[in-house]
Amino acid sequence: MQPIQSLDDFFTRSGADVSLFHMGRRVTPCPRETLRAFESGDQAWPEPWQHQARLGIVFRLGDMPEPAIWFLALPLDEQGMLSPAQRDGFINRLLETLGRNVATVGTKAFERKQTADVDHLMKDNPLAFTPDITFQAMLNARATFALGLPASQHLEPVEAYFSNQQAIDWQALGLQGVADYVVRMETTEADALALRLTTLPTGVVHSLCYCLEHQTFSEALVSALVSRGEIAAQEGDIETLSACIRAVGSANETHAGEWYSSLLEDKAAGGPDVLAAIAGRGWQYLEDGQRLPLFLQRLAEDERTDFAAVVRDIALIPRLRLPVMMALRDASPGSAIQQRLANMLPRT
C-alpha cells in the first residue's frame, strides 16, 4: 500500500467523516475534489488569502464523541499552487502521533487516547491559525446546519428581533445567533429583513453585514444593502459603507456589480477602505473588462493604498490572474498604474 502523502489521503484512508470549508476570503463549503486537485498539483487554490490556502476541517475519526475542527493555512507559491514542505511535515507529525497503522485501519474505531492526540496536533503547529470571531461563528453555523444539528441558543432571540416579533435590546444579540440566522435564512425572511434594513441600528447592520458577506441572498436584500451603503456614504460613515460593500460581495447579483462600478467611477467615494472591501470580498465582480481596469486605476491613484500588495493578492486568484496581468500591460503610458509599476521594479 502506498504511504499517505496528502491530507486527502489521510482522511480517505482513515475513513474519517469530513466537511471542508474555505476560511480565507469567506466561509463557504470546499469540495473534497478541490483539496485533492490542489494537493496533487493539478490546480491553484481558488480562494487564496495572504498567500495561503486557509481551510476549516470538521471531521470525526472512529468513535470520537464530537467532531474535531482544524484550521490550517497551507502556504502558496507565486502561482497560487501548494508549497508542500510544511504540509508534508504536518502529515509526518500526524502519522507519528496516531501511528503509522492509520494507513490500514480503514474505518476501525480509534481509541480515546488517539482522539485526544488529534486535538493536540494543533498545538505548536506552524500551519494552524485562529480565524476571527465572525469566521468562527459562520463556520459553526454552516457546519451545524450541514450536519443537521441544532443551531445555537442565540438564534431564537435573533429571529425574534429581525422578524420584529419581540422588543429586544439589540446589544444583547449574540454574533453566533446572527450567523445561524444568516445561514438558515430563506428568501421570504431575507425580503422581510430588507424592508427593515434602513431602520436597524448601525451596530446590528455591521454584525449582519459581516455574516452576509459569506452568503448568497435575495435581490431585495442586495438592493437594501446598496441603499444603506449609499446613505452611509452621504453621511461620511466609511465603516458602514465598507460593511455594505463587503456584504454584497458574494451575492452574485447584477445590481451589486453596478454599484461597485458607480463607486469606482466616483473618485470621491473610492478611498482605501472601499477599495479594500471590493478586493477582499467582492473580487468576483472584478472579473469584468471595464470594472477591473477602473479598480486598478483608482488603486494606483490613491497614494494611501499598498498598490503592490493588493495587486499581488488579487492576481493569486486563478480567475483574475490573467485579466490582472493584461490590465496592467494595457495601462496607458504615464498613467498612475504605470508609475506604480515602475516603483515596484527593483532599482539599479
Encode pLDDT of 304-346 as tens digits: 999 999 999 999 999 999 999 999 999 999 999 999 999 877 6
Q: What is the pLDDT of residue 2?
A: 79
Query: Which of 68, 89, 120 is the endpoint of a domain?
Result: 120
Choose the final residue of a domain: 100, 120, 140. 120
Q: What is the pLDDT of residue 216?
A: 93
DSSP letter for 198, please: G
Do 235 and 327 fall into the same domain?
yes
Q: Is the alpha carbon torsion for 9, 11, 12, 13 positive or negative?
A: positive
Whether residues 116 and 199 share a domain: the answer is no
Residues 209 and 63 in one domain: no
State residue 245's pLDDT score. 98
Number of H helices, E strands in the chain: 18, 4
pTM: 0.91
Residue-level pLDDT at 168: 81
Nearest to residue 54, comparing CAs of 112, 108, 135?
A: 135
Residues 217 and 72 in one domain: no
In angstroms, the CA 263 to CA 250 distance is 17
Q: Is 174:154 a contact under the CB 8 Å cutoff?
A: yes
Residue 304 maps to a domain: yes
Whether residues 104 and 207 share a domain: the answer is no
Which residue's C-alpha cell is 445590481? 255
Answer yes or no: are the C-beta atoms of 337 and 302 closer than 8 Å.
no
pLDDT for res 113: 47
Of 120, 149, 175, the domain-final residue: 120
CA–CA dist 76, 335 (Å, integer)? 31
In a domain, 162, yes or no: no
Q: Which long-range contacts (CB under 8 A, 24 or more apart) does 255-258 make?
A: 255/219, 255/222, 255/223, 255/226, 256/222, 256/226, 256/282, 256/285, 257/285, 257/288, 257/291
Q: Do 100 and 226 fall into the same domain?
A: no
Range of the domain at 340: 185-344
Low-confidence ranges of the chain (pLDDT < 50): 103-113, 348
Q: Is residue 85 part of a domain?
A: yes
